[in-house]
Amino acid sequence: MSLMLDEIGQQPTAIERTIKRESRKINAFAETIKRAQPRLIVLVARGSSDNAALFGRYLLELTTGIPVSLAAPAVHTLYKKKLDMRDALVIGISQSGEGVDINLTLENAKRGGATTLAITNEAESSMAKLCDETFLIHAGREKSVAATKTFTGQLLIFHLLARALSNSKDKMDVDRLPELAESALKLRPQIASLVERYAFMDHCVVVGRGLNYANAYEFAIKLMETCYVVAERFSGADFLHGPIAMVDSGFPVFFFAPPGPTLPGMKELIAKVNSIGAETVVISSEASALKEAHRAIKIPERIPELLSPIPYIIPAQLFAAFLADAKGLSPDQPRSLSKVTKTV
């Protein structure tokens, strides 16, 4: 068994451990932030962590009403621009905490007056030391180059922070996430059988929207780095603005289709792609979406959209790990990649 598959299986335990160890600290930090009333939240990340940040942007805006931006690190590192970051919360996301450009951006934001927060798996990392506060992912050391348990750990931290910052009486049931992750892992035999059909796949499209838009990016990057598949990723809306023209008969298109506001549009898009003759694979709990799919990956329980990204990405992680094996590749040591990537 690959390290990647083993670490995918560790996710329910890592999620439960992180909830227990970080919730109190996150709640206390959130009270301080509420009193400060930040006008803006800025997220800084690269790679899979940047995909987690994309989820964080949707979740924090939906639950707090505070505008959230994704930073452009080159503004700080290459163009050397100092920004006015007063009344801003700047959050760095990195599994290793050693991304040079991420840390330089955080340092510059601090000089510009921002409060800085680190989300990392490494307590002694450079990022943890330079930020005003650190939230740890208690995932244990991640040995596979392909991030899995640290990615879902980052999503979890955003869940905990959003719940703590929200003034809504209807709080997300974040404590259910270990159970929902465990349930998603039960899809393993089905997915192991499904991937054989795609052993020779060399290109595809992954589509998501809203809270699962980040999952489209994350699934695509996993297919690219572990299976060497050219995987384009789009929001359901953007896909109609040109990219759908690349799809023809037999072209594989993967969809994340959870319940919620994005579902009607996603079902329409699945039907349209089917009419072109593409091969659709749908990850959903919803019968109305699954019945449109050529291949269906049924999420065992109908999960509220706010909680869906972690249990929805796990089947995609499994798909990538099993597909790499079917192609005779090692998902743990992708060519040209290392665990810690340092860019400026």
For the chain, the domains span 3-179, 186-326
User: What confidence category does residue 343 fall into, taking pLDDT thresholds of 50, 70 and 90?
Assistant: low
Q: Long-range contacts made by residues 285-290, C-beta under 8 angstroms, separation at least 24?
A: 285/258, 285/259, 286/257, 286/258, 286/259, 288/263, 289/255, 289/257, 289/263
Enter the tokens of residue 38. 């930040």
Largest CA distance in the chain: 56
Give the dihedral sign, CA 30/32/34/38: negative
Is residue 171 pLDDT above 90, yes or no? no
Which residues neighbour 316 within 8 Å (Cβ) at sequence distance 6 or greater? 215, 218, 219, 222, 254, 256, 283
Q: Which of 135-149, 211-225, 325-339 has the lowest mean pLDDT?
A: 325-339
Is residue 221 pLDDT above 60, yes or no? yes
% of the chain exceeding 70 in pLDDT: 97
Is residue 341 pLDDT above 80, yes or no? no
User: What confidence category does residue 162 fall into, taking pLDDT thresholds of 50, 70 and 90?
Assistant: very high
Determine the average pLDDT of the residues in 129-157.
97
Instruction: Give the C-alpha separation, 39 to 72, whole Å.
Output: 18
Is residue 303 pLDDT above 70, yes or no? yes
Determine the average pLDDT of the residues in 233-241.
89
Is residue 312 pLDDT above 70, yes or no? yes
Domain 3-179 carries which CATH code? 3.40.50.10490
Q: Are 2 and 330 in contact (CB under 8 A)?
A: yes
Domain 186-326 carries which CATH code? 3.40.50.10490
Is residue 340 pLDDT above 70, yes or no? no
In this prediction, residue 331 carries a pLDDT of 87
Q: Are 256 and 285 in contact (CB under 8 A)?
A: no
Is residue 328 pLDDT above 70, yes or no? yes
Q: Are 253 and 204 in contact (CB under 8 A)?
A: yes
Give the dihedral sign, CA 289/291/297/299: positive
In this prediction, residue 336 carries a pLDDT of 62
User: What confidence category does residue 285 fall into, taking pLDDT thresholds of 50, 70 and 90?
Assistant: very high
Is residue 205 pLDDT above 90, yes or no? yes
User: What confidence category does residue 1 fall into, taking pLDDT thresholds of 50, 70 and 90?
Assistant: confident
Is residue 168 pLDDT above 90, yes or no? no
Enter the tokens of residue 65. 């009403």
Q: Which of 24-33, 94-103, 240-249, 324-333 has the lowest mean pLDDT?
A: 240-249
Determine the average pLDDT of the residues in 7-14.
98
